[in-house]
Amino acid sequence: MPRKLEVLIVVNFFLLISFMGLIFNINPIAAQSGGSALVFPTNFTLLELGEKAGNKENVSSINIEIPSSSWNLNEIQLNFTNINLGQETKIIEDEYYGMYKRIFYKSLVFKACGYGIQINVTEPTILYGVDLYGYRSQSTIETIQVQIRGYQDGNNKPNNTIYTSTLLNMSIVPGWHKQIFPNSISLATGSYYLVLNGSTIVDSKTEYYWAYNDIDPSNPDLYLSELIDEWSNGVKNTSLLYKLNQKVHRSFFPQDINMTVNINGDSYSVKNGVYSGSGNIMVTNLNHNPDGPNLNIPIMNNNSIELDFNLNYSIKMSKDLDCQSSVMIDENHDNRWSIAPLLFREFSNYSVKFFFPNNWYNLSVKRDSIEITSQIQIDDVNHSIFIPNDAILDGVDWLITGNSTRISFDLDVDRTEFLAGQELKFFISDPVLNGHYHFVLTDPFNDVIYTFNKTILSDSSSFTYALPQTAIDGDYRAYIYWFNGIDAGLATQVFTITLPFTIDWFMVVSIIIIIGLTSTVSASSYVLIKNNKKKNIARKEAVYNKCTDILNLNYVLIIEKKTSLNVYDQVFIEKQLNTVLLSGFLEAIRAFGIELTGSKDHSQIIKLDYQNSKILMAEFKNFRLILIMKELPTEPFYESISALSLEIEEKYGTFLKSFNGDVEPFKNMEELIKKHLGTAFLYPLKVVMTDKTKISTHEKSIINKALNLMKINKTKYCFTTQLIQDKGYNSKDIETIFSLIDRKIFQPLV
């Protein structure tokens, strides 16, 4: 009967439309609801402000992590302490004339098996290693020691104190070779010896060569000693070639060494502190983009050696935040401006400033729809709103609103009465305001029949509309909306359209027929609407029941009947269940459960109460399917259980029949459970989509909510209960989530 009724309505409706089309010559028009208030998108930005402070110890450069490269540095304050020279390579002798001291196996002919050169330390020094100029022979297979020894006064030779030593690093190619000591050593002011000790050489083919300068040594007063049976007394005017890799304990006032910081190519001098080794600098009014995840600030000085220092720093940064914003222009009210920023804290000290036009008033700031104007600062002199750090919360909605007076402008109209088929035309009166214009024309029924956008800079300021021959007579209203980003206004004009009066008897008869058809359609439509309403309620109830049944599901167990061993189980709550005990319990009462519970309502499905839970047990050939729930499910869920059981029998019956305790063949049962019982609804869900994914407006809102939750909770997933709980399990939201799961936009995170 309902189907026949629908057909009757459709037939009558098309007869009615066809007949009206013939009589009134109706042309299709894309009309929309009329009204004087319209909302236009605008472009507003907020200024995000971030502050960060910290300290670094024993560094030679400044490298500060920032949230992203989109932030600009506005201000920096640096306080330096313990400024001293960093590690350097100090040249003692490097003039090379091709002459070498040879260190080799000690014999009656060749007696020297080691050489040493004096080190003169004039201030406390940390020594990391040395560079030696020399080489070894190709036949050398033994290594010898590089040592720092004490200095014997009087004889000016090495003593027996060894401060550090390492194996000599020397190749067969003449040149400088770096020697690194296992640990750095601290040397007080005084004299020491750098020696190559070959006293352990036993192979006559071992030969090392250390270059020396006895022509014009840089320091002819350094003593040289050779090792024969013991170290010889030192002699002057011959210096072995070596360099010291060192660091001296010497602090500076920054201005004494022209210490500067370099920011965006500009140098700024560091001022002296109250004591040697300290200094400070503050640089303001910057607009420097680091262009990377780190703020790198080079430190320069007039020494060739880089500096080491301790640092306390404080930086202030900013960036522009584009916001979703709009203006509502209303014929009966002042303009209402709205800005809805998305604020995400990237600094622990994070604030926001919004500079509003000077013609705005009645400013308001809402956080999650709650007025917080008392917690912010509104500066009417500088026309700004400042939202401080303490007022900003993560994961909330923000709305900034304000009003401005509508800007008045006039229309230049030659005449206001037209006939159907004529061209309606008018102009913007001088002076013409530059900006965007939006022309809306409504008919006597206040339906929009025409819209047109125009940006007037030097273009024509005219607006036209060709009235169709079929135009109805009456008053048409033209609305001209104007806005330029910070101001907005509206002008209106009424035009009267007239038609010649004639009596059309055919029209009269047609109207009578239309009235009859309309009555038939109306009566039929009432019945159809009532039936559709019932169907809609039933559909919503089914969606709600499906959601509730899934959320009530705690455990799923599949048990092989002969052994009573579970081949698969899955838990959907945190509390664990002893599946072995439960399996034994069900086996013990299985023979009595049907009679005691009267559960033959559903074929082969037993219902039990056990520890405040509802247990459903489905009996099949070789297995039992057990579901533990908070409450008994609805009828469709029982049908899903039956369908699941049949497919388990179909795909796994052979394995169940020959079950020997190996559960490996059943590991993919999870997919069947998700398919029939919809358990993907209980999983943590991730969002997977591309730019080509087509989604509806409501799907987009659900996806955005999920992404927002993930960002707030700092996770890569969210749960469906988080998406629906604040609306009391809205059926439309639930249905949309099911759809997103089916389309694999929401995917279970396994």
CATH superfamily, region 407-498: Macroglobulin (MG2) domain (2.60.40.1930)
Whole-number Å distance between alpha carbons of 453 and 438: 5
**Per residue in 84-99, pLDDT tens?**
888 889 999 999 999 9
CA distance 534 to 232: 114
CB-based contacts of 134: which residues, under 8 Å, 6+ apart? 100, 170, 174, 177, 208, 209, 210, 211, 241
pLDDT of residue 603: 46
**Residues present in the chain in total:** 750
Output the average pLDDT for the chain. Answer: 85
| pLDDT computed for residue 535 by the predictor | 77
Residue 631 near residue 551, CB atoms below 8 Å: no
Spelled out in words, what is the top-level CATH class assigned to the domain 95-240?
A: mainly beta
Distances (CA, A) of 471 to 31, 231, 322, 448, 474: 14, 121, 44, 13, 9
Q: 671 near 677, Cβ under 8 Å?
A: no
In 3D space, the residue among 39, 17, 33, 21 whose CA is nearest the CA of residue 443 turns out to be: 33
Q: How far is CA 227 from CA 110, 136, 233, 745, in A?
A: 11, 18, 10, 81
What is the model's pLDDT at position 186? 94
Q: Is 306 exposed, middle or buried (0-12, 13-18, 19+ CB in 10 A)?
A: middle
β pairing state of 279-283 and 271-272: antiparallel
* Residue ranges covered by each domain of the chain: 2-27+503-542, 49-87+251-317, 95-240, 407-498, 552-678, 683-748
Q: Are 411 and 428 in contact (CB under 8 A)?
A: yes
H/E stretch holding 387 reads strand 384-387
Cα separation of 670 and 651, whole Å? 13
Cα–Cα distance measured from residue 224 to residue 211, given in angstroms and rounded to the nearest whole number: 13
Task: Please give the backbone phi and psi of residue 310, each rounded to the nearest 5 degrees, phi first.
Answer: -100, 150
How would DSSP label each residue in 519-588?
HHHHHHHHHHHHHHHHHHHHHHHHHHHHHHHHHTEEEEEEEETTT--EEEEEE-SSS---HHHHHHHHHH
Weakest mean pLDDT among 256-265, 281-290, 325-334, 687-696: 687-696
CA dist 453 and 436 (Å) reads: 7
Q: How many CB atoms lie within 10 A of CB 508?
A: 9
List beta partners, residue 185: 127
Spatial separation of the C-alpha atoms in residues 305 and 302, rounded to whole Å: 8
* DSSP β-bridge partners for residue 556: 570, 627
Using pLDDT thresholds of 50, 70 and 90, give the confidence band for residue 28.
very low
Residues with Cβ within 8 Å of 147's Cβ and at least 6 positions away in sequence, in order, are 162, 163, 164, 165, 194, 195, 196, 197
HEC string of 415-436 equals CCEEECCCEEEEEECCCCCCEE
Question: Residue 196 carries which side chain, given as an amino acid letter?
Answer: L
Query: For residues 254 and 267, what is the distance between their CA atoms, to the nearest angstrom?
Result: 14
**What pLDDT does residue 29 have?**
28
- pLDDT value at residue 504: 58
- The CA distance from 472 to 397, in Å, is 47
* Phi, psi angle pair for 173, to nearest 5°: -95, 125
Whether residue 720 has pLDDT greater than 90 = no
Per-residue model confidence (pLDDT) at position 511: 66
Rounded-to-integer distance, Cα 333 and Cα 310, Å: 61
**pLDDT given at position 657:** 87
The pLDDT assigned to 27 comes to 35
Out of 3.30.450.60, 3.30.750.24, 2.60.120.590, 3.30.1050.10, select the CATH number for domain 552-678: 3.30.450.60
pLDDT band of 728, cuts 50, 70, 90: low
Task: Tell me the pLDDT band of 727, cut-offs 50, 70 and 90.
Answer: low
pLDDT of 646 over the 50 cut? yes
Helices (H), 623-730: 635-657, 669-677, 697-713, 720-724
Is residue 459 scored above 70 in pLDDT?
A: no
Identical fold between 49-87+251-317 and 95-240: yes
Instruction: Note the pLDDT of residue 430.
Output: 85
**Is the pLDDT score of 525 beyond 80?**
no
The pLDDT of residue 458 is above 60:
no
Strands of 60-109 (E only): list them. 62-65, 72-85, 88-93, 100-104
Cβ proximity of 156 and 118 under 8 Å: yes
Burial class (CB in 10 A: 0-12, 13-18, 19+), 743: middle
Amino acid at 399: L
The mean-pLDDT minimum among 95-99, 422-426, 600-604 falls in 600-604
The pLDDT of residue 87: 87
How large a percentage of the chain has pLDDT more than 90? 49
Q: Do 167 and 146 meet the contact criterion of CB atoms below 8 Å apart?
A: yes
* 503-509: average pLDDT: 60
* DSSP-derived secondary structure letter, 232: P
Q: Which amino acid is at 76?
A: I
Specify the pLDDT at position 24: 40
pLDDT digits (tens, 9 = 90+) for 301-314: 988 788 899 999 99
Segment 31-84, tens digit of pLDDT:
233 447 899 999 999 999 999 999 999 998 899 999 888 999 999 999 999 998
Which range has the worst mean pLDDT, 206-210, 367-371, 738-742? 738-742
What average pLDDT does range 644-651 have in this prediction? 89
Mean pLDDT, to the nearest integer, of 569-596?
61
CA distance 197 to 166: 11
Indicate if the pLDDT at residue 23 is higher than 50: no
Note the pLDDT of residue 384.
95
pLDDT category of residue 532 using cuts at 50, 70 and 90: low
Residue 661: predicted pLDDT: 86
Structure tokens at 724: 């629906």
CATH architecture of the domain 49-87+251-317 equals Sandwich (2.60)
pLDDT-derived band at 597 (thresholds 50, 70, 90) equals: very low
Residues 6+ apart with CB under 8 A from 95: 213, 215, 216, 217, 218, 241
Residue 654, SS3? helix
Q: Are 569 and 558 in contact (CB under 8 A)?
A: yes
How far apart CA 290 and CA 69 sit, in angstroms, is: 6
Predicted local confidence at residue 19, as pLDDT? 46
Single out the residue of 446, 442, 462 nearest to residue 454, CA to CA. Answer: 462
Q: Is the peptide bond before 341 cis (omega within 30 degrees of 0)?
A: no
